[in-house]
C-alpha cells in the first residue's frame, strides 16, 4: 500500500512537470529574450528582492537582454519609452497588478485598500478626487508650509547639536525624524515628535511595526502557501509578523478622532479638511481613514528622508557644486517661501538629478495586459500577462539621458538636455507614472526644497566624514532604497 501511494505521488509529480514543460514550450512569450529559467519560475527575482537587490537584478537583465525581458512564466519587464507611454497612459487599460494589495497597514493582501493599494480604476479615481483637494501645491502651502519649514529647522538644530557633541552627525537619522514628524502631523493631526527625542526609525515603535509588516507582506506575496501554513501553526502564529498590522491600524484611531476636529483647529489633520469640503460626512469611513493614514506614513517617511540623505551626500561629494548651491540659497532673504525656492534653478536641478539617480522608490510598477492582449515592441503580449517598468532602469537609459550613470545637474538647468527632451520628461518618473502618480509628490517636493535649502544655508562648509564612502552609500532596496551602511555621517 505504501509503495502504491509513493508511486502515485511520483506519477502526479512527473505529470505536473510534463504539463508545465509542455505549456511553457507553447507560450507566446517565448519569443521575448530572457534567462532560460524564466519560462518556469520567477523565483530568482523574489530571491533578489529578499537580498535587497531587487531593482539591480532586473536592471542587469535589461543590460543583458535589452528593453524587453521575460523574467517569469507570465512576467515581462519593459524599458522602452514608447511602450512605457502605452502602459502608463492616463485612461489606458493596463491596470495595477494585485501586487499592490500587499503594501499597506492591513493584513497582507487583505482589504480594505488605501489609495496606493487600489487596483480598480473607478475606486481609485473616486478616492483620489476626494483626497486630492488637500494635496495640491496651493493647499499644502496654505495649510502646512509653516509646519514643514519649522520641522526642517528643528532637524538642522538637532544635527548641529549632535555634531557639536560627537564631532559627527548621522544626517539620515535626523531627516527620518523630520519626515516622520511632518507626515504624522498631516495624517494624524498630531506629530510623533521624533525630533524632540532624536529617535530614528530603529528606535520608534511605529517604524518597527512598518518594517515587520513589510516583511510579512513580502513573504505572503511571494510565498503564499508557506505564509498561510505558518499563520495556523500554534506558537508560530503568535509571532509579531502576523499581528503588527493590528497595532498599525489601531494607531490610526488618532487620525479618525482628529478628522472630526474643526478644519482650522490645532489638531486638525488632512481628513478634517476633506470632510469640511464634502457634503457627505461618511465619504471616508473609520477604516478608510485608518488605512490611508497608515499608508501615507509608510510611503512618506523613508522616501523623503533617504532622498534628502542622498542629495546631501551627492552635493558634498562635489565641492564646486556645494559652493554654488550654498551661494544660491544664502542669497535668499529671511522668511523665504516654498514658492521662492521652487524658482531657484540650481536647487531645482540638484533635486531632480538626485531623484533621477537616487529616488527612493525606483521599484517595478507592474501592470496587467488588458483583454485582447497588446503589441509592445513587436511582441504580442497575451491578456493577463504582467508587464512592469522600473524608473531605476528608465532613468539610466543612455538613449534618453546622456552619460546616465553620472550625477550631472547641468542636464536640468535651462537649456540642458532634460529641459528640451520629450523622452526625458516622459521617462522621469520618481513618483510613479500616469493616473497613479504619487498624490503626495507636492508635499515631498516641499520637504526636499526646504531640507536642501536650509541645510546648505545653515551648514556651509559641511564635509563628509571618513566613514561615509561610496561603498557605504551603495543602494540597497526591497521596496524603498536605503544606504548599505544605513547611516550618512558628516562633519559640520
Single out the residue of 120, 125, 103, 55 nearest to residue 368, CA to CA. Answer: 120
First to last CA, the chain: 77
> Measured between alpha carbons, how far is 171 from 462 in angstroms, rounded to an integer?
11
Residue 279 has pLDDT above 70, yes or no: no
Residue 17 has pLDDT above 50, yes or no: no
> Measured between alpha carbons, how far is 362 from 127 in angstroms, rounded to an integer?
24
Average pLDDT over residues 267-294: 81
Task: Supply 194's cell numbers.
Answer: 521624533
Task: Supply 296's cell numbers.
Answer: 501615507
Cβ-proximal residues to 382 (8 Å cutoff; 6+ apart), any chain: 28, 29, 369, 373
Residue predicted with more confidence, 206 or 37: 37
Residue 281 has pLDDT above 80, yes or no: no
Pairing assessment for the beta strands 75-78 and 475-477 based on DSSP bridges: unpaired
The C-alpha angle with vertex 363 and arms to 362 and 368, in degrees rounded to 5, equals 130
Query: Per-residue pLDDT tens for 110-153?
Result: 899 999 999 999 999 999 999 998 999 999 999 999 999 999 99
Rg of the chain (C-alpha set) = 24
Cβ-proximal residues to 91 (8 Å cutoff; 6+ apart), any chain: 435
Q: What is the pLDDT of residue 20?
A: 53
Name residue 45's beta-bridge partners. none
Angstrom CA distances, 358 to 331, 393, 492, stand at 27, 12, 23
Cβ-proximal residues to 262 (8 Å cutoff; 6+ apart), any chain: 268, 272
> Measured between alpha carbons, how far is 315 from 468 in angstroms, rounded to an integer?
13
Sign of CA dihedral 26, 27, 30, 34: negative
Place of cell 538647468: 413
Q: What is the pLDDT of residue 247?
A: 80
Task: Supply 485's cell numbers.
Answer: 551602511
Sequence-ordered strand ranges (E) for 282-426: 364-368, 374-376, 379-381, 386-390
> Measured between alpha carbons, how far is 338 from 351 in angstroms, rounded to an integer?
14
- Three-class DSSP category at 361: coil
Angstrom CA distances, 253 to 272, 417, 451, stand at 14, 48, 30
Q: What is the pLDDT of residue 11?
A: 52
Query: Per-residue pLDDT tens for 382-394?
Result: 999 999 999 999 9
Residue 208 burial class via C-beta count within 10 angstroms: exposed 0-12, middle 13-18, buried 19 and up: middle
Average pLDDT over residues 166-194: 94
Check if the beta carbon of residue 301 is closer than 8 Å to that of residue 176: yes
Check if the beta carbon of residue 234 is closer than 8 Å to that of residue 225: no
Q: What percent of the chain has pLDDT over 70?
A: 91
Return the CATH number of the domain spanning residue range 104-331+430-492.
1.10.630.10
> Measured between alpha carbons, how far is 306 from 303 in angstroms, rounded to an integer?
6
Q: What is the pLDDT of residue 202?
A: 47
> Measured between alpha carbons, how far is 323 from 211 in angstroms, rounded to an integer?
37
Amino acid at each position: 500500500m505504501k509503495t502504491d501511494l509513493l508511486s502515485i505521488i511520483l506519477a502526479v509529480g512527473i505529470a505536473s512537470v510534463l504539463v508545465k514543460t509542455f505549456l511553457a514550450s507553447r507560450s507566446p512569450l517565448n519569443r521575448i529574450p530572457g534567462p532560460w529559467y524564466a519560462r518556469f519560475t520567477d523565483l530568482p527575482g523574489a530571491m533578489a528582492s529578499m537580498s535587497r537587490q531587487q531593482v539591480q537584478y532586473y536592471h542587469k537583465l535589461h543590460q543583458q537582454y535589452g528593453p524587453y525581458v521575460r523574467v517569469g512564466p507570465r512576467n515581462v519587464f519593459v524599458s522602452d519609452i514608447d511602450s512605457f507611454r502605452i502602459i502608463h497612459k492616463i485612461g489606458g487599460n493596463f491596470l495595477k497588478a494585485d501586487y499592490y494589495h500587499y503594501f499597506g497597514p492591513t493584513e497582507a493582501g487583505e482589504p480594505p485598500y488605501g489609495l496606493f493599494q487600489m487596483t480598480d480604476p473607478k475606486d481609485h479615481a473616486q478616492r483620489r478626487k476626494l483626497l486630492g483637494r488637500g494635496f495640491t501645491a496651493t493647499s499644502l502651502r496654505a495649510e502646512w508650509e509653516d509646519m514643514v519649514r519649522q520641522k526642517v529647522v528643528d532637524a538642522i538644530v538637532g544635527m548641529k547639536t549632535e555634531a557639536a557633541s560627537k564631532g559627527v552627525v548621522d544626517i539620515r537619522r535626523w531627516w527620518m525624524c523630520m519626515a516622520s514628524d511632518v507626515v504624522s502631523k498631516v495624517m494624524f493631526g498630531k506629530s510623533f515628535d521624533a525630533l524632540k527625542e532624536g529617535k530614528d526609525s530603529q528606535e520608534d515603535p511605529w517604524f518597527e511595526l512598518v518594517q515587520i509588516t513589510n516583511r510579512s507582506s513580502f513573504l505572503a506575496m511571494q510565498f503564499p502557501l508557506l505564509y498561510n501554513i505558518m499563520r495556523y501553526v500554534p506558537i508560530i502564529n503568535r509571532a509579531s509578523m502576523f499581528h503588527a498590522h493590528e497595532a498599525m491600524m489601531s494607531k490610526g484611531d488618532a487620525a479618525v478622532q482628529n478628522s472630526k476636529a474643526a478644519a482650522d483647529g490645532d489638531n486638525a489633520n488632512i481628513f478634517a479638511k476633506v470632510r469640511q469640503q464634502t457634503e457627505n460626512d461618511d465619504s471616508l469611513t473609520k477604516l478608510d481613514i485608518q488605512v490611508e493614514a497608515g499608508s501615507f506614513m509608510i510611503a512618506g517617511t523613508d522616501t523623503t528622508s533617504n532622498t534628502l540623505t542622498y542629495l546631501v551626500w551627492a552635493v558634498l561629494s562635489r565641492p564646486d557644486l556645494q559652493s554654488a548651491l550654498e551661494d544660491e540659497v544664502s542669497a535668499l532673504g529671511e522668511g523665504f517661501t516654498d514658492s521662492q525656492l521652487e524658482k531657484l534653478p540650481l536647487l531645482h536641478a540638484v533635486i531632480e538629478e538626485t531623484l533621477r539617480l537616487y529616488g527612493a522608490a525606483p521599484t517595478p510598477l507592474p501592470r496587467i495586459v488588458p483583454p485582447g492582449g497588446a503589441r509592445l515592441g513587436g511582441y504580442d503580449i497575451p491578456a493577463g500577462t504582467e508587464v512592469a517598468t522600473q524608473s531605476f532602469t528608465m532613468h539610466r537609459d543612455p538613449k534618453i539621458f546622456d552619460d546616465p550613470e553620472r550625477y550631472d545637474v547641468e542636464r536640468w538647468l535651462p537649456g540642458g538636455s532634460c529641459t528640451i527632451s520629450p523622452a526625458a520628461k516622459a521617462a522621469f518618473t520618481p513618483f510613479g507614472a500616469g493616473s497613479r502618480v504619487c498624490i503626495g509628490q507636492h508635499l515631498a517636493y516641499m520637504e526636499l526644497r526646504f531640507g536642501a535649502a536650509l541645510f546648505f544655508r545653515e551648514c556651509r562648509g559641511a564635509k563628509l566624514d571618513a566613514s561615509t564612502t561610496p561603498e557605504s552609500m551603495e543602494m540597497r532596496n526591497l521596496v524603498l532604497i536605503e544606504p548599505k551602511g544605513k547611516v550618512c555621517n558628516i562633519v559640520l
